[in-house]
Amino acid sequence: MSELTTIARPYAKAAFDSAVENQAVDKWQHMLSFASAVAGNDRIQDLLSSAMAAEKLAEIFINVCGDELDQQGQNLIKVMAENGRLKTLPDVLGLFNQLKAEFDKEVEVVITSATELSAKQQSDLSASLEKRLARKVKLNCNVDPALVAGVIIKAGDTVIDGSIRSKLNRLADALQA
Task: Locate the domains of the chain by residue range.
Answer: 2-102, 105-176
With a cut of 50, say whether residue 45 has pLDDT above it: yes
Of 45-59, 98-112, 116-130, 149-163, where does mean pLDDT reach its minimum?
A: 45-59
Q: Mention the CATH class of domain 2-102.
A: mainly alpha
Q: What is the value of pTM for the model shown?
A: 0.63
Q: What percent of the chain has pLDDT over 90?
A: 1
With a cut of 60, say whether residue 115 has pLDDT above it: yes
Please report the pLDDT score of residue 1 as a whole number: 45
With a cut of 60, say whether residue 169 has pLDDT above it: yes
- 3-class DSSP state for residue 160? strand
Sheet holding 106-113, edge to edge: 136-143, 106-113, 151-155, 158-161
Residue 62's nearest CA partner among 16, 88, 31, 23 is 31
